């Protein structure tokens, strides 16, 4: 279906004239569509980012799934189930968006399962108490939205359109997380301590979701030139901090950053040093839950083998019937 666009941008086709015309389209805020000519590197950057994003949505179901059977009320359980199903849907929109660039879903799965493709570092941290489910919604979905609202204006049409729907659902996720935090923070002393414990453990990993600092981000320069990314990693991180600190104050919880301070002049918060060694260690596969997450995804893939085989056999039979008719 998308063969025309793929044929137009084989490696080696990226002549200066084509590149210049492409950049002009980007600068004019035109959306790039699947059949349009695009530089190989633009295509590859999108496949990398969109598939990483899709994997994050899928792996991101796991820390929350840990609490489905132990949610404190039936209502909380239903809400949590709905949220986890939304994440599965987000993964599917994103895999579909990446497929429009010529990458097969099978290849993307293989890359995730072999450990070649990344997914967001945040999902390699455990969810140890019920307040963590609140903190994941509030902080993790909150950080995700900050990034994704900007991605609604990304230059690649299918990615940008999938982001619009995803953001609507993510904002419900953020609100449900904050709602849990309000309940816990205004509950007993023990519940408040659980809420504080959750923010103590998840605050810094949430800041790491935005990626390395601008000086160390290897892809940001080109991605911003192509308007795949509309803001730098540090700019989005700062926006998130500025939006979230007042929410923590409302909850009566402390942000675990002794160097956090409000700059009266710029009217923004300045944060302490992020432990980038921890970030690198986690994305290399050595975080607390990396192995557990990969084992769970590999198990799910193996368990689904018969479903894929049945679907493929059915499709083949349909094709055969169509040929006969
Ligand atoms: N974790 O040059 P940089 C969610 C990698 S989940 C792991 O700045 P880029 C949700 C990066 O891939 C939210 N890896 O890269 C789901 C690159 O490595 P490679 C997921 C990270 O791409 C369920 C290297 O570090 N959101 O919503 O310009 C429940 C250098 O980085 C991370 C997205 O994926 C990380 N945190 O910028 C709840 C949004 N950060 O590929 C919530 C879309 C960086 O060269 N993605 N790396 O080997 C993006 O906006 C960008 O890809 C990033 C990184 C800002 C993440």
Distance between CA 296 and CA 58 in Å, rounded? 11
What local confidence, expressed as pLDDT, does residue 158 receive? Answer: 98
CB 26 within 8 A of CB 155: yes
What is the Cβ-side half-sphere exposure of residue 237, based on CA atoms within 13 angstroms? 20
**Which residue lies with its CA nearest to atom 21 of ligand 1?**
211
Task: Give the residue whose CA is nearest to atom 15 of ligand 1.
Answer: 219
Task: Provide the percentage of residues in the chain whose pLDDT is more than 90.
Answer: 93
pLDDT in tens, 273-283: 999 999 999 99
Please work out whether the CB of residue 185 comes within 6 Å of at least one atom of ligand 1.
no
Burial class (CB in 10 A: 0-12, 13-18, 19+), 287: buried
In ligand 1, the atom with minimum distance to the C-alpha of 60 is 23
Residue-wise pLDDT for 221-269, tens only, equals: 999 999 999 999 999 999 999 999 999 999 999 999 999 999 999 999 9
pLDDT over threshold 80, residue 13? no
pLDDT over threshold 70, residue 2: no
Confidence of residue 3 (pLDDT cuts 50, 70, 90): very low
How does the average pLDDT of the chain come out, rounded?
94
pLDDT of residue 7: 46
pLDDT recorded at residue 325 = 73
Q: Which of 281, 211, 277, 201 is nearest to 240 (CA)?
A: 211
Q: Which of these, 26, 97, 30, 49, lies nearest to 233 by C-alpha position?
A: 49
Model confidence at 5: pLDDT above 80: no
Rounded distance from Cα 321 to ligand 1 centre (Å): 44
Residue 30, both tokens:
């035109």
Query: pTM value?
Result: 0.94
Domains and CATH numbers, the chain: 3-288 (1.20.1260.10)
Mean pLDDT to the nearest integer, 294-321:
95
Position 323 confidence tier, pLDDT thresholds 50, 70, 90:
confident
Count other Cβ atoms within 10 Å, centred on residue 321: 9
* Cβ contacts of 34 within 8 Å, gap of 6 or more: 2, 5, 100, 101, 157, 158
- Look at residues 253, 256, 118 and name the one whose alpha carbon lies nearest to residue 200: 256
Q: Which atom of ligand 1 is nearest to the CA of 49?
A: 52
CA-proximal residue: ligand 1, atom 29 (nearest): 60
**Res. 6: pLDDT tops 80:** no
Would the pLDDT of 43 be above 60?
yes
Give the atom of ligand 1 at the shortest distance from the alpha carbon of 233: 55
- Determine the Cα–Cα distance for residues 113 and 109; give it in Å rounded to an integer: 6
The token duo for 139 is 């902080």
Closest C-alpha to ligand 1, atom 20: 53
119-132 pLDDT, tens per residue? 999 999 999 999 99
């Amino acid at each position: 279906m998308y063969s025309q666009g793929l044929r137009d941008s084989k490696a080696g086709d990226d002549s200066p004239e084509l590149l210049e015309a492409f950049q002009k389209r980007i600068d004019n805020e035109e959306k790039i569509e699947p059949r349009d000519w695009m530089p190989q590197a633009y295509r590859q950057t999108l496949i990398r980012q969109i598939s990483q994003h899709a994997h994050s949505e899928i792996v991101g179901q796991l820390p929350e799934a840990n609490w489905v059977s132990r949610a404190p009320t039936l209502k909380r359980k239903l809400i949590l189930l709905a949220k986890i199903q939304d994440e599965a849907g987000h993964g599917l929109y994103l895999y579909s968006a990446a497929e429009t660039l010529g990458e097969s879903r099978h290849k993307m799965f293989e890359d995730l399962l072999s450990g070649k493709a990344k997914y967001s570092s945040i999902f390699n941290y455990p969810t140890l108490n019920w307040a963590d489910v609140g903190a994941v919604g509030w902080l993790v979905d909150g950080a995700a939205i900050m990034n994704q609202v900007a991605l609604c204006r990304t230059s690649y049409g299918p990615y940008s359109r999938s982001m619009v729907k995803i953001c609507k659902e993510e904002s419900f996720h953020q609100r449900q997380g904050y709602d849990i935090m309000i309940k816990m923070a205004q509950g007993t002393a023990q519940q408040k301590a659980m809420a504080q414990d959750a923010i103590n453990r998840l605050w810094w990993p949430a800041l790491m979701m935005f990626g390395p600092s601008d000086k160390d981000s290897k892809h940001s320069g080109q991605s911003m030139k192509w308007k795949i990314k509309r803001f730098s990693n540090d700019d989005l991180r700062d926006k998130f901090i500025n939006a979230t600190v007042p929410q923590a104050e409302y909850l009566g919880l402390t942000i675990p950053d002794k160097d956090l301070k409000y700059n009266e002049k710029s009217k923004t918060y300045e944060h302490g040093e992020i432990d980038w060694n921890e970030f690198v260690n986690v994305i290399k596969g050595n975080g607390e839950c990396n192995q557990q997450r990969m084992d769970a995804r590999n198990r799910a893939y193996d368990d689904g083998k018969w479903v894929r085989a049945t679907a493929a056999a059915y499709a083949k039979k349909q094709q055969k019937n169509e040929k006969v008719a």
